[in-house]
Amino acid sequence: MAAKDEHYAIETFSLTKIFPDWWGRAKVIAVDGLDLKIRYNEIYGLLGPNGSGKTTTLKVLLSLLRPTKGRAVVLGGETRDTKISAQIGYLPEESYLYKYLSARETLDFYGRIFGLAAKVRKSRIDTLLEMVGLAGMANRPVGTFSKGMTRRIGLAQALINDPELLILDEPTSGMDPVSTRQMKDLFLQLARRGKTILLCSHLLADVEDVCDRIGILYGGRMRVEGDVKSLLQHSDEKQIHTGPISNDVLGQIERLVRAEQAKYEVSSPMDKLEDFFIRTVTEAQEQKLPTSGAVSTGEIGGFLAEGEQTSNILDRLVSAPVARESESQPGSAETAEPEPAVAEADQDTDLLEQLTKSSTIPDRRDITTATEPVETVVDDQEDVNRDVLEKLTGGTERQDTSIDKSGPDQPGEDKDA
């Protein structure tokens, strides 16, 4: 496929979008000279405060808006080309679905637009409804759904075509923690199976959990961009996790640390409220307590997971080895971001493997267990990471500081700063 010959799934060149007033005078610069590069098979998080130009960027990428200057290339072409748009799944920020259509009719409508054969369409609709937990509400009009349920059916329509590229605007907004966790797992699994995901979100924890790289927009310009770990990791501080140890051992450790004249702090780890909540809900679901809400299986849709069921390029990628193609492509190192240490990369791969185990295990308890490693790893640096992200998005002065931090990794960003 031509698109795969290109190095980037999404690439913008000095992309600028200016909104005019009624008289045609430039009034708001929503996006200002944006050079965005998102590799294939990458989960990229686009962050920024309200009005920073995230959604406008997505709309330009999707040809809902024309750029005032510059251009955007998606999967090697323009999204107005139906061959390109056939490979894209888009979940908008708000529910842009027809309220009078039922969940099944909604998916059928979009399936027909994609030209799916009746048999394939029916099979995918059933699978997706099951996957997003709306199988019991398949014939209910979308207008009667809660926000979370609307997001679920929105995600299902974005996946109906088994897309190469997923563009998600606030995908977890309005969803409960269990659904959020399931959706994050789904993103990771999709990425593991070769999809590229561009994700816009205000929920920094979600972005942090799933994204390989992030970019932070402010005033329509890219302020910071880079690998999540390299941006957030404090290389000058260390954390040690242990099992139960005696006070004597603690005292010895403290003495050793003091000898190095380093800061020393000891505390017992706490569960995250999210983990606690998920555990409680999972127990209730296991007891089959009645609910009128959505109940997802947590499983990835068969057509998304099983390469042998379909034969398009996406599924060939799905059945390909887990290792990222773009990272292994010769020549890709020329433009690739600096790679993290090998040990960290291995650790990531293991982590993803553990996270995506849920797709093959139907039992809900197992799904929760499978997702726990996310919490364990994130927990270690959670406070530090949140602080950094908040600093990055907090204000101009703080942003400058953050930009300085990321300087060595992102030489191109100094200009923006």
Partner 1 sequence: MHSVWAVAKNTLAQAIRMKVAVIIIILLVILLPLMSVIMVGDGTLLGKLQTFVSYGLSLTGLLLCLLTITVSTFTLTNDIRQMQLHLVVTKPIKRFEILCGKLLGVVILDILLLSVFASVIYCLTLLIPRLSKAGADELAGAGREFFTARVSLSADVDEDKIDMLAKQAYEKLERSRQLPESMTKEQILSELRGRERTQAQAVEPGAQRVWEFENVRLADPNEMLFVRYKYEVSVDPPDYRVYGTWLIGDYRQIQYGLGDWESPVARIERSELIRQFHEFEVSAEVVASDGYLALIFANNPYLNMTTIIPQEVQVLLKTGSFTGNYIRAVLLILARLIFLATLGISVSTWLSFPVAVLICAVAFFVGTINGFVLESLGVLDQTPNIIYNLTLRPILWLMPRLDGRFNPTHYMISAEVLSWRFLGQVYLMMVFVKSVFLLIFGIWIFSNREIAKVVV
* Contacting residues toward partner 1, per CB under 8 A: 19-22, 27-28, 59, 62-66, 79, 82-83, 85-86, 88, 90, 92, 94, 96-98, 100-101, 105, 109-110, 112-115, 157, 161
- C-alpha distance across the termini of the chain, in Å: 38
What's the min distance (Å) between Cβ of 50 and partner 1?
Answer: 15
Closer residue to partner 1 in complex, CB, 140/272: 140
The alpha carbon dihedral of 122, 128, 358, 328 has a sign of: positive
Cα 183 to Cα 166: distance, rounded to the nearest angstrom: 13
Cα 414 to Cα 417: distance, rounded to the nearest angstrom: 5
What's the min distance (Å) between Cβ of 101 and partner 1?
Answer: 7
- Would you say 356 and 369 are in contact if contact means Cβ atoms under 8 Å apart? no
Closer residue to partner 1 in complex, CB, 21/397: 21
Closer residue to partner 1 in complex, CB, 55/359: 55
Closer residue to partner 1 in complex, CB, 100/276: 100
Of 78, 24, 45, nearest to 224 (Cα)? 45
Residue 6, phi then psi, degrees to nearest 5: -75, 155
Closer residue to partner 1 in complex, CB, 64/250: 64
Cα 165 to Cα 325: distance, rounded to the nearest angstrom: 15
Of 62, 46, 53, 54, nearest to 19 (Cα)? 53
The alpha carbon dihedral of 172, 178, 182, 184 has a sign of: positive
Closer residue to partner 1 in complex, CB, 102/368: 102
What's the min distance (Å) between Cβ of 160 and partner 1?
Answer: 9
Cα 188 to Cα 42: distance, rounded to the nearest angstrom: 10
What's the min distance (Å) between Cβ of 86 and partner 1?
Answer: 4
What's the min distance (Å) between Cβ of 324 and partner 1?
Answer: 26
Task: Count the alpha carbons within 13 Å of 249 in the hemisphere toward its beta carbon.
Answer: 5
Within 112-173, strands assigned E span 165-169
Closer residue to partner 1 in complex, CB, 91/228: 91
Beta partners for residue 196, in sequence order: 165
What's the min distance (Å) between Cβ of 180 and partner 1?
Answer: 22
What's the min distance (Å) between Cβ of 80 and partner 1?
Answer: 9
In what side-by-side order are the strands of the sheet with 213-218? 88-91, 165-169, 196-200, 43-47, 213-218, 221-227
Helix (H) or strand (E) holding 223: strand 221-227
What's the min distance (Å) between Cβ of 15 and partner 1?
Answer: 15
Closer residue to partner 1 in complex, CB, 92/220: 92
What's the min distance (Å) between Cβ of 314 and partner 1?
Answer: 14
What's the min distance (Å) between Cβ of 8 and partner 1?
Answer: 19
- What's the Cα-to-Cα distance from 372 to each of 171, 209, 360, 378, rounded to whole Å? 21, 12, 16, 10
Closer residue to partner 1 in complex, CB, 62/224: 62
Closer residue to partner 1 in complex, CB, 119/238: 119
Neighbour-count burial for 356-372, b at 16+ CB within 10 Å, e otherwise: bbbbeeeebeebbebbb
